Structure 1
Amino acid sequence: MQAALRILAAQCALPSFGETRKEEEEEEEDKDCVERLQVHRHRAKISSRKAAGRLQLCRLSVKSARMEQMMIKIIALVLVSYWVGQVKTDEDFCYKKQCPEYRQLEKNEVFEKRLYYAAYWTTTKVDGTGSADVMAAHARLKGYFQGHGWATDKNYPVLVNVTERGGPSDYSLSWFVPPGNQISESSDPSVTLELKPEAIFYVMFFHGTPSVELCLQNANILREALVTAVKTFDPHTYIGAGYESYFSILHHNEVWIPATADVIS
């Protein structure tokens, strides 16, 4: 646009060749040149405004992108700080939750031996080993709790009970019932309420999103450790214990193996 203005200005300044201009004609041509220059200047001005507007939009877009990146970083830092604050040690995995009472009898680098006192638990059968089967069983127990007006986010653990007897394994899900709740039988025949007696378990904790497969892997690790430590235990039963929601970012999981009668005595 600037080049066009220069060319047009040059054309207006050039003398006519071949004949002499009359004053009126020269004035008319000068007037036309001035008008044409004004039109081009106006267009150039509009073009400059458009360019300035586009530049401003570009700058705003860049600023917006930078602000978005900064907000993402801030949110990430807040979440990291929050979850770091929520990390639990082995000793406080039941922090702010109601868990069954137990007494630690023995502890080494791999496992510990616990005496659990008698407590009420709700139990339902798990139809398969998939996550959907476990979640369906959990929903039945949750429905029982909600039907009695009991909290469902402050009492843990939830147990996956596994019995192996040579054929297909039997699975059931149990949820701890804290003391102080009014006990009544379930109207759902698939959910049972039972008072489990005092018992001793060998316990090993592990991390990760809980699953039947992960629990079995750690049960085998605990079994090998118990054999090495010359401990007597039930080789056909193990229990997976979860202390958080399945969708939690952090998980403290445990595998329990019952001690046999001769060890209890």
Structure 2
Amino acid sequence: MKTSLLVALCLPFVLSFCLRAYGDPEACCPQCLCPEYVLINKHETFEERLYKSSRWITTDLPDTSRGSVMGGFWKLNEYIKNFEVSGRPVILSVRTGENGQEQVTLSYHISPDTVLPNFNDQTIKEEIRPGGTVYVRIFSSDQSEKMIKENKDMLFKDLQAAGILFDDTRYDAAAYKGIFVLEDRQDEIWSHAF
């Protein structure tokens, strides 16, 4: 893994992000800015959540390098200045194809009722992500590449040990708070059920 996820989780330093804590809709994410979910099960090291379908603005990235992720961040940041919504989670999604090539996207969540302005940049698109079961490892770290990789690997290992089938060809790194928030920081690694 490249220095990729470190950048993705550190990117949103301009925005302030919220975390819907353990399925409590009142805990955070005002104005329905976080994807809605129901907490199905809380295991010792991860949660099982059932997400509803959600709406995102997304851009493809050529890879997970720092330059690519920063370019995607600034592109989406410039676009969202065109409408009035504050505080949204950002996710970096990584999928590995059959040839081992990574497909990478960077996305901001938007509320269902947001009216989007016209897309002047054809590399930005609206995406409706279907609902489904997601396994989530919540962690707080110094955002180092090592910590992110360790948390992804630990989630995958814990799911295997629990006998849970999951898609090991993809994962998401979710960030809810900016880089300058050092205390009470929570980030997430998501793994998807088949």
TM (norm. structure 2) is 0.77
Per residue, is there more helix in 1 or in 2? 1
Q: Which residue of 2 aligns with 1:159?
A: 91
Secondary structure of 1:193's match? strand
2:107 to 174, 186, 192: 174
2:119 to 182, 186, 190: 186
Change (3 A) 1:145 1:159: same
Secondary structure of 2:79's match? helix
Secondary structure of 1:180's match? coil
1:138 to 52, 65, 73: 73
1:84-123 equivalence runs, <5 A: 90-91=21-22, 95-97=28-30, 98-123=33-58
Q: Which residue of 1 aligns with 2:190?
A: 256
- Ranked by relative contact order (alpha carbons within 8 Å, sequence separation 6 or more), the top structure is 2
Per residue, is there more strand in 1 or in 2? 2
Change (3 A) 1:182 1:107: same
Return 5+ residue gaps in structure 2 as ranges: 1-18
Letter of the aligned partner of 1:118 in structure 2?
A: S
C-alpha contact 1:185 1:192 (8 A) present in aligned 2: no
Structure 1 consecutive aligned stretches of length 4 or more whose deviation exceeds 4 Å:
none
C-alpha contact 2:56 2:127 (8 A) present in aligned 1: yes
Secondary structure of 1:187's match? coil
Change (3 A) 1:200 1:144: same
C-alpha contact 1:185 1:193 (8 A) present in aligned 2: no
Q: How many pairs were matched up?
A: 170
The CA RMSD measured in Å over matched residues stands at 2.4
TM (norm. structure 1) is 0.58
C-alpha contact 1:131 1:211 (8 A) present in aligned 2: no
Distance 1:107 1:187 in 2: 43
Per-residue deviation at 1:106? 1.0
* Larger Rg over CA atoms: 1
